[in-house]
Chain A
Amino acid sequence: MSKRVLPVILVIVSSLLLLGLAYSFFWPTAVRPTPLSAFTAPFVYGHFQIPADNPLTKEGVALGRLLFYDKRLSADNTVSCATCHLQRLAFTDGKARSVGVSGKELAFNSMSLANTLWGPQHFFWDGRAQSLEEQALIPIQHPDEMAQDLDQLIDELTADEHYLKLFRQAYGEINAKNIAFAIASFERTLVSANSKYDQFLRGELKLSADEELGRKLFMAHPDVKASLRGGNCIDCHSQFLTSGFNAKFDGFANNGLDSDSNLKPGLEKITKMKADRGKFKVPTLRNIALTAPYMHDGRFATLRQVLDHYDQGIKVSATLSPLIMEATNQPSDSEQLQISLNLSEDEKLAIIAFLHTLTDYTFIDNENFSNPFPIKRVPHE
């Protein structure tokens, strides 16, 4: 009895195995994209995390790049992501506040997309998106930005055989989730790590005397008692990334732009905590010389104005950073709290010189990040 059953079981099991193999090879939804193997990041940038459900793949990144530059993502096909994120400006737009399809000025300045893998993983100036995937779909649908209906976008992309093929190779079907996944993947590859500062960190060159003084000031919180002069930058901008801090909402701060009476909500809108009013995301300073105007509303046109703000222009409010309140290079005897860094003219110029060493020309010239259109189409077989 058992001698006759055994071969039957063997036959059934092996046919099932064969069927499974065949299924995984030939079933159309079985997507097997190529892992992005060449992706590297500098040691000093530290850990980064790519979501387990959206690993970096060659196909995903290529598709994301195409979507990023495709104006069909907007309602009237006039605006792409790249309209407000130009590579030559380190993926900003040079405007105080961006303008999309409605022609209305937006509330915020366009943020650089360099090194989004590090720093706060809350996106937009007020931190309202908790992942790049979540972020990607928001401007597409915002009435003043791209004003696109997602279902309509999916229809438009589905009508394009090229996109059908690219989505099939990268993710499977064309849907909102996969559009977001692709754009987020492309954005994660936008790593800027070859500025003069990086070359200095790698020991490849020396900074000029001015740049070196600026670097030291950047990296120091002033301490009069210990005779240490500082520009106080590092208190919010981390030493290597120059971004805000990654943990929780540590990378959000009130940097004294407004007094209580006209303090914008900022992070308070997300956390619903009064203590977060007027806090905005601390941006990366990588390529900062290219990303004027500055601050969440683009109120400063030049780095000089930014330095003057931190040196003499701080406005007190309830949530102002204690580190900004406290920092000075020359305390006054006055009983009144006077907020001023009291940097010398030379020191301000030195910090600006250091900030210029953060410009990464390989980043803005990198062809992998550039506009892929027009596409050379391979004739159909």
Chain B
Amino acid sequence: MNKIWIPLFSVFVLLAFSWLYLVNHKQAGTVTLQFQARVGDKPLEFNQTRYANPGGEGKFQIRHLQLYLSNIQLQGKEQRFQVADSYHLARFDNAAKSYLLELHDVPYDKYSKVNISIGVDESANASIMARGDLDPNNRMAWNWQVGYKFILFEGTLAHAQKIQPLVYHVGFSENLKALQFHLPEPITPGSAPVNFDVDILAMFSSSVNINMAALPTVKFDRNDARLIAENYASMITLSADDSAYSALEKSEP
């Protein structure tokens, strides 16, 4: 009679430990961040003269666009997860016009904040060490004395029967912009992607509306670079919801 309790008790202990394990040792996994590009209220299309100059006459087209995202951190209830070698070159020249970033081996937690910087921190910017997506021989490197372009935008502006080249290469360590996003619902590894909107037009029309005809290029002039940087600081936002973006797609002719 007594003997029956031994296996029953063992089973109970086993179940209790499995339950505790499942609760406390939930699996590390992948967190996906998705960055969807748009240009104001229009979808991003390369090589098409279709976007209005925000501060003046004419329409512009985008030939090339790349930007560095860096220092990505997830803030959870228990911990702060810092992505290793967090230098990510975002580009949108694909069918979905989006950049997908998968963060692997994220420890289990309920994360409610995401930190992302636009640009490259000062120590990495002054180094020729290749790490993450930093590569001193890539298109974003100026030269080893100047560092990296944080954002590269090249295109043309058509106005008054004229085609004007547009070159916005913005860098310099002071233009690193650290952003923090509060997620409406906390995420756990393995849950659905976190969706961000990247509004390219915000580079030219957030804090200041820029007339591209008057300021067609920004490179090494520090005031001009700061002007664009103040603008790009607000180009990334959390997507309100997915339906908002599909509505935008539909509004296109």
Contact = CB atoms under 8 A, between A and B. Distances in A.
Interface in B132-169: 135-139, 141-145, 154-156, 162-167, 169
B93 A241 contact: no
Nearest to A235: B139
Interface string A24-62: 000000000000000000001111000000000000000
A272 interface: no
A107 interface: no
B143 A239 contact: yes
A248 interface: yes
Contact of A246 (B93, B137, B162, B224): B137
A219 B143 contact: yes
B11 interface: no
Interface stretch (A173-181, A291-299, A322-330): A322-330
Interface string A226-250: 1010000010001111010111101
A335 B162 CA distance: 9
Contacts of B46: 275
Contact of B167 (A239, A245, A322): A322
A240 B222 CA distance: 26
Contacts of A220: 143
Interface size class of A (residues with CB under 8 A): 20 to 34
Contacts of B165: 322-323, 325-326
Nearest to A118: B137
A231 B142 CA distance: 13
A46 B135 contact: yes
Contacts of B91: 247-248
Given A225-B224, A248-B93, A238 B141 contact: yes
Nearest to A316: B163
Contact of A322 (B138, B154, B219): B154
A179 B63 CA distance: 40
A331 to B, nearest CB: 11
Nearest to A119: B137
Contacts of B135: 46-47, 246
Given A46-B135, A245-B137, A275-B47, A221 B169 contact: yes
Contacts of B47: 273-275
B128 interface: yes
B166 A322 contact: yes
Contacts of B166: 322, 326
A47 B163 CA distance: 38
A335 B143 CA distance: 32
Given A47-B135, A322-B156, A239 B141 contact: yes
Given A223-B220, A239-B137, A275-B47, A323 B154 contact: yes
A238 B220 contact: no
A367 B138 CA distance: 32
A203 B163 CA distance: 45
Contacts of B136: 44, 46, 238-240
Nearest to A220: B143
B234 interface: no
A13 interface: no
Given A239-B144, A275-B46, A228 B220 contact: yes
B217 interface: yes
28 contacts: A118-B137, A219-B143, A220-B143, A223-B219, A223-B220, A225-B224, A226-B219, A226-B222, A234-B142, A238-B136, A238-B138, A238-B141, A239-B143, A240-B136, A240-B137, A245-B138, A246-B135, A246-B137, A246-B138, A250-B138, A273-B47, A274-B47, A322-B63, A322-B155, A323-B154, A325-B165, A326-B166, A326-B167
Interface of A: 44-47, 118, 219-221, 223, 225-226, 228, 234, 238-241, 243, 245-248, 250, 273-275, 322-323, 325-326, 335, 337
List 8 tightest A-B contacts by C-beta distance, closest first. A226-B220, A325-B165, A238-B137, A326-B165, A219-B143, A275-B47, A322-B165, A46-B130
Interface of B: 46-47, 63, 89, 91, 93, 128, 130, 135-139, 141-145, 154-156, 162-167, 169, 216-217, 219-222, 224
